[in-house]
Amino acid sequence: MIVLVGFMGAGKTTVGRLLAAKLGVRFADSDQVIEQRRGRSVREIFAEDGEPAFRLAEREVVAELMRGPDAVVAVGGGAVEHQPSRRLLRAARVIYLEVSYDEAMRRVGGDAGRPLLSRPDLADIYRRRLPVYQSVATLIVATAGRPAEAVCREVIGRLAREPGLPPGPRVRLLSQQDPNRIRPHEGVAPCASGCP
């Protein structure tokens, strides 16, 4: 399981979709699952049911996705504030997409679909979450000024060199880095340089 975490505007959904497509696995976004189930947007759920109701739904969906089949999962920016959810993430490769507060606001500022943007203490929320994102991350990837494609390539390259990766996923990751490196009859690919 690969999980993307980070603040709003980090690019979790865009990078996650790309990554899933390249790895040939399912993509899921916790916000989208909640919206589909409730038949309403995140903004409407916040407005009509309140944030606590949204957080409850978010916890349930994150737990369900973590128990589900292998996938690339993007979780909402606030999901990691829930300790039991963090515990569930320990079983996954967790990629923290870093974005500065100013850059995040440039990317999502004015998006009416993001209810948190109206919070006067948003900068404090950002500061409070940074160490939490860092603590759950197995990989930290900078996104400043980089297109999603470049971020995705870095994620794939670094994941492929991760110790303890099962042979199947490693082969898929290496073949994404260099399609000529692995031929179907070779089975498990040799480790790329830098591998343990």
Residues that bind ligand S3P (CB under 6 A): 8, 12, 31, 42, 76-78, 114-116
The least distance separating ligand S3P from the CB of residue 122, rounded to whole angstroms, comes to 9
Residue 140 phi, psi (nearest 5):
-115, 125
Q: Are 3 and 90 in contact (CB under 8 A)?
A: no
Closer of 81 and 162 to ligand S3P (Cβ) = 81
Closer of 115 and 157 to ligand S3P (Cβ) = 115
The least distance separating ligand S3P from the CB of residue 195, rounded to whole angstroms, comes to 32
Q: Are 76 and 30 in contact (CB under 8 A)?
A: yes
Closer of 74 and 173 to ligand S3P (Cβ) = 74
CA–CA gap between residue 158 and residue 169 (Å, rounded): 13
Closer of 67 and 128 to ligand S3P (Cβ) = 128
The least distance separating ligand S3P from the CB of residue 157, rounded to whole angstroms, comes to 24
Exposure string of 143-152, with b = 16+ CB inside 10 Å and e = fewer, is beeeebeebb
The least distance separating ligand S3P from the CB of residue 189, rounded to whole angstroms, comes to 34
Q: Are 191 and 173 in contact (CB under 8 A)?
A: no
